[in-house]
Amino acid sequence: MTRTLSPKPVCRLCRKRTSGCRPGRKTKAVALVGCWAARDNRGVTSVVEHSVEISAPVAEVFSYVEDVDTTKDWMYGLHAIEPVGEQLHGVGATYDGTMRLGVSLTSRIRCTRWEQDRVIEIESVKGIQNTQRWTFTDLGEGRTRVDAWISYTLPGGPAGRVIASAVKPFIGVAIKHTSDRLVRNIEGR
């Protein structure tokens, strides 16, 4: 199940009552963007959620997703990912990565939450601001559900609008490609 960008902006940045903004207002859409005032100063923040079910035990799925050596095999647009330091797993593991989604986006990311067979959370510490949370649910009978929650903020101003317009067409393709490859690669092992 994928939820995509809503055409109606809902401000989660400024919480002001501007066009499309209402404090505390809930929306059915998952991808949220800031109002125009917030966009100019702070960039455009979007959130994407996606779930996929895989015919494999949760331990196998978790192990595959957390292995940095396999990430380029299933994550669409990932051009490079390199460890920074000696720690490769768990809280504190840090990586430099480059995504190509219409334009090259670079970030240094660090694992901020890690629970064996349950959750991996990664946040940027430099570059394009982003947070990724991967949760793993044992569905029984050797099946696992993976829920991905990804938040990213592109820069504001004219440069940010150019980057956003280049990246936007790739988001739907990236989600479908990533989930299809993840399922195919794990179930094909």
CATH number for the domain including 71? 3.30.530.20
- Closest by alpha carbon to 12, among 74, 29, 4? 29
- What pLDDT, on the 0 to 100 scale, is given for residue 95? 97
- Closest by alpha carbon to 176, among 56, 61, 62, 52? 52
* Whole-angstrom distance, CA of residue 173 vs CA of residue 14: 30
- What pLDDT, on the 0 to 100 scale, is given for residue 42? 59
* Whole-angstrom distance, CA of residue 171 vs CA of residue 175: 6
In the numeric block, the tokens 């066009």 are attached to 19
In the numeric block, the tokens 């938040």 are attached to 151
* Whole-angstrom distance, CA of residue 90 vs CA of residue 121: 10
- Range of 55's domain? 2-187
Per-residue pLDDT of the chain (189 residues; tens, 9 = 90+): 444 433 334 444 444 434 444 333 333 333 333 333 344 445 777 778 889 999 999 999 999 999 999 999 999 999 999 999 999 999 999 999 998 877 788 999 999 999 999 999 999 999 888 899 999 999 999 999 999 888 888 777 777 777 777 777 777 778 888 989 999 999 998
Q: How many domains does the chain have?
A: 1
* Whole-angstrom distance, CA of residue 157 vs CA of residue 47: 20
